[in-house]
Amino acid sequence: MFSKASLVALTLALMAVAGPVAPNTGIRIPLSKRSILTRSDGTFDSDKAALEQIRVHNKYQKNLRNLQANLGHLPEGFTIKDFKPIPQGLKKRANGSEGLTDQAEELWTGSITIGTPAQGFTVDFDTGSSDLWVPSSDCNGCSSKKQYDASSSSTGQKQSGSFEIQYGDGSTVQGDVYTETVTVAGITVTDQYFSPVTTLSSEFQSSPEDGLLGLAFPALSNLNQNPFFNTAIKQGAVASGEFGFKLASSGSVLYLGGTDSSLFSGNIEYHDIDSSTGFWQATGGSAVVGGQEVASGISTIIDSGTTIMYGPQSQVQAVYNSINGAQVYDSTQGLWSFPCNSVPSDVGFSWGGSTWTISADNFNLGETESGSGECVGSLAAQDLGLGNGVFLLGDSFMKNVYTSFSFDKTAVGFAKLA
């Protein structure tokens, strides 16, 4: 279990310049995390997990709607489903009342600036979405947030169209569309499309981050424009079209414009992705328990904006059937439990090379209740509309490896943490 860390400002570094890819030529960005699904007493927070599952479901329903609007069709196997509402009993927790200031998700946040002169914001860096948005000075219910003031910037230009994302609780994030100068730790791009939103969903009103910066492919963009990093590649603001994540209880880093060799050992093992989906979706994978393949022919979306891991019912069941003492804990949330005295440390995923295993600490979300002796696993069965054989691997997986996301190679790669 980890304690909440305070938000940390990014360390400014020298401006990256376009040129040949070389070791450690990018920009290192310290990240802060905010919340997990384990209470301070080591027990599993079921309510928070339920909110997380609803959030992830609705996030991917928004993504699928954006894909259909941008491509004119959905990739094979994808299905748009209804948004899930937040149950009445969880709404107070979702909007941060009852003394709660955290949300269901585990966020990896850092600082950016927008405009000239620079206006600073704290954003969630998310490989599972593609837009940049922050509150505007006209935003309702955003008094606790930093707000973008277009009238104070000499480089902001309003564009046609509008930005809107709907949420399962009926609220929205919506606003106008602008182009602006955006800087992330010394990497500056111009004419970046983003939205200074005028309404903020209840999901975000109580959370400490101001907005979100997506790092997936343009096909997922609600604005139907290049995300920040793609703009940086196009404008030659980064040394390579690659970025890397180390996620941990401390020392988390996003590295833009390459990979940080001080954070991993050996070589990065790259695997092709199906970029037509808009996701960082590696194909040809398998789920492995104890060195034995238990589910084959799967693909995996690697998402820094998702806390745990999700997969289809039958294949998740195959994983837990290979774990001694595992049993269904919550069929609605697709959660399983196992004896706390034998938390598995040999569950992993392979894409034809190494098997990348999940540590016992990262596979264990905590005891079902104090003294029960049963602990909850961080792999859940859910139908997110992504089709048969598609797993969603969030932070519970990413915290075990160094992860590289490469537009240059159209691949995602993994390496052992240093």
303 given a catalytic annotation: yes
Beta bridge partner(s), residue 177: 159
Burial string for 34-50 (b: 16+ CB within 10 Å, else e) reads bbbbbeeeebbbbebbb
Pull the structure tokens for residue 382.
Answer: 């859910």
As a three-state string, the secondary structure of 33-84 is ECCCCECCCCEECHHHHHHHHHHHHHHHHHHHHHHHHHHCCCCCCCCCCCCC
Distance between CA atoms of residues 29 and 254, nearest Å: 5
Burial string for 170-204 (b: 16+ CB within 10 Å, else e) reads ebbbbbbbbbbbbbbbbbbbebbbbbbbbbbbbbb
45 given a catalytic annotation: no
- Structural contact between residues 357 and 399, judged by C-beta atoms closer than 8 angstroms: no
Beta bridge partner(s), residue 112: 121
Q: Specify burial of residue 117 (Cβ count, 10 A radius: 0-12, 13-18, 19+).
A: exposed
Backbone angles phi, psi at 13, to 5 degrees: -135, 175
Could you give the residue ranges of the DSSP H alpha helices within 199-330? Answer: 202-205, 228-234, 313-321
Pull the structure tokens for residue 147.
Answer: 């707000």
Residue 111 to residues 106, 225, 253, 277, 360, Cα–Cα distance (Å): 17, 22, 12, 29, 32
Choose the catalytic residue: 124, 126, 169, 210: 126
- Structural contact between residues 181 and 188, judged by C-beta atoms closer than 8 angstroms: yes
Where would I find the beta strands (DSSP E) of 273-386? 281-289, 292-302, 309-311, 327-330, 335-339, 347-350, 355-358, 364-367, 374-377, 379-381
Element (H, E) at 91: helix 88-94
CB atoms within 10 A of CB 306: 27
- Read off the amino acid at residue 162: S
Choose the catalytic residue: 124, 131, 169, 303: 303
Residues with a known catalytic role = 126, 303
